[in-house]
Amino acid sequence: MPALFAILTTISVVSVGMLSYMEISRSMERDVLAKVGATEEALGNTFESTFARIRADLKVMAESNISQDAIVRLGAGFENIAKEGKDPKAFLQKSYITDSAYPKGERHRADEVDDGSYYSKFHPKYHSWFRNIMEEYGYYDIFLVDLNGNVVYSVFKEDDFAANINGPLLRGSGLTQAVNKATEADGISMTDFEPYAPSAGALAAFSGIPVKDKFGSIIGALVVQLLPAPFVAILDTDTGFNFPSQGFILGSDQKIRFSAGVEQGAASAQADYFIGSDLARAAMNKGRGVEITVNPDAGEDMITAFGKHIENGIEMMIVWQVRYDDAMEALSSVRNQVALVSALTLIVMTVLGFLIARSISRPLQDLQSGLQRFVKSGDLSIRVGTDAGDEVGQSTRAVDEILEMTQRSMARIKEGNDLSGEAAEKMMSAAKVMSANAETQSSSVEELSSSVEETES
């Protein structure tokens, strides 16, 4: 019995431990999936807040008298240069780019240029205001474009400055798309991130808004140039997880626009990594979700959260991933704790079970031994009871009571048998006396009969 009890205890403890571990594992997985999904949602909210700020900035700038006046004044300066028989693009790029006292990347620091033009007379009036906005809010560049498509102003002063959006350099570019969408729709426009030639082919997106005069007529467009860096910084934000993660921004064509936390040389660093994948299709169809996917690079499971976000008609997908093993690392600790608790419980239960089993089996063994002695000897004086106060002890004492009752019954039966024997002997003696008396009487009768016969004869 102790061995059986130990086996049953082991099975019970192991089963409970395994079930507990499985339930904890499922619960932790649900929690991790929820946290990863919440992280993607938080990133998406940050992206949306960023775009909301951009829209607010555009409205403030477009409604400012400074922007309205700048398009009029600088546009007039642009036309004056042309009226003088000069090429405005060549003239202004020479003054602000070629002959600039500042190197490439710092030309926006020049407020004044002494070229004698009407344009350069008013440039300092607006430049510091736009430059401060650009630097404070993290824009790469800010443009003013007139209704003729001339880029009459640029803060950063690259090759797009003083160019025409319909010319060979800018035709079909993000800047051109932003201007056309804003003026045609009379609202805020947005373009996807794509290489932009004037910025050395760097990825750039553009957001524009029409600028109107005091009568509400469109006189041009104001456009801001966005680089991936601020958005990559959002992807790379400390999310509270103490293990690596990687984030991606995908376009509507499922190509990666930019990413964070991706190792160089990894397959996921390639722009077409997600094209045609189940994840990309799910993101396009479901809009938002969390799934366990497989990283083809290492064949390991990834917890992937995705969400589709639309900004002024431009679809973008945020994909945020963590390694499954990293996210569930705490489960290893839980597994060890469950194993330790199960082992300790097993030891304690085994010892207690052994003692309990012994306390049950010992009286039963004594009962069995006593009954076997009784069967062999028939001695009703044998007692098998114990002093134990439990049910087993009560049972053994009940057996003793049965034996004692049987012993008393047998004694009474024996006593009754003895009394019956004495009575039988007395009856036999009386019968013998009666028989003797009968014989005596018979002899007397015979003698009397003989005497009578003799007398009659």
36-52 pLDDT, tens digit per residue, is 888 888 999 999 999 99
d(CA 174, CA 1): 84
Q: What is the pLDDT of residues 171-187, one digit of tens each?
A: 999 999 999 999 999 99
pLDDT value, residue 248: 92
**pLDDT band of 392, cuts 50, 70, 90:** low
CB 292 within 8 A of CB 312: no
3-state secondary structure of 297: coil
- Helix or strand (DSSP H, E) at 36: helix 2-63
Of 76-90, 144-158, 319-333, 392-406, the range with the lowest mean pLDDT is 392-406
Tell whether pTM > 0.95: no
Q: What is the pLDDT of residues 252-287, one digit of tens each?
A: 899 999 999 888 878 888 899 999 888 888 877 877
**pLDDT band of 385, cuts 50, 70, 90:** low
- Helix or strand (DSSP H, E) at 277: none
End-to-end CA distance of the chain: 105
pLDDT value, residue 151: 98
d(CA 243, CA 260): 14
Residues 6+ apart with CB under 8 A from 323: 243, 244, 295, 300, 301, 302, 303
pLDDT value, residue 364: 63
DSSP 318-349: EEEEEEHHHHTHHHHHHHHHHHHHHHHHHHHH
Q: What is the pLDDT of residues 66-118, one digit of tens each?
A: 999 999 999 999 999 999 999 999 999 999 999 999 999 999 999 999 999 99
**pLDDT band of 437, cuts 50, 70, 90:** low
| Tokens at 132, concatenated | 């401060």
d(CA 120, CA 378): 133
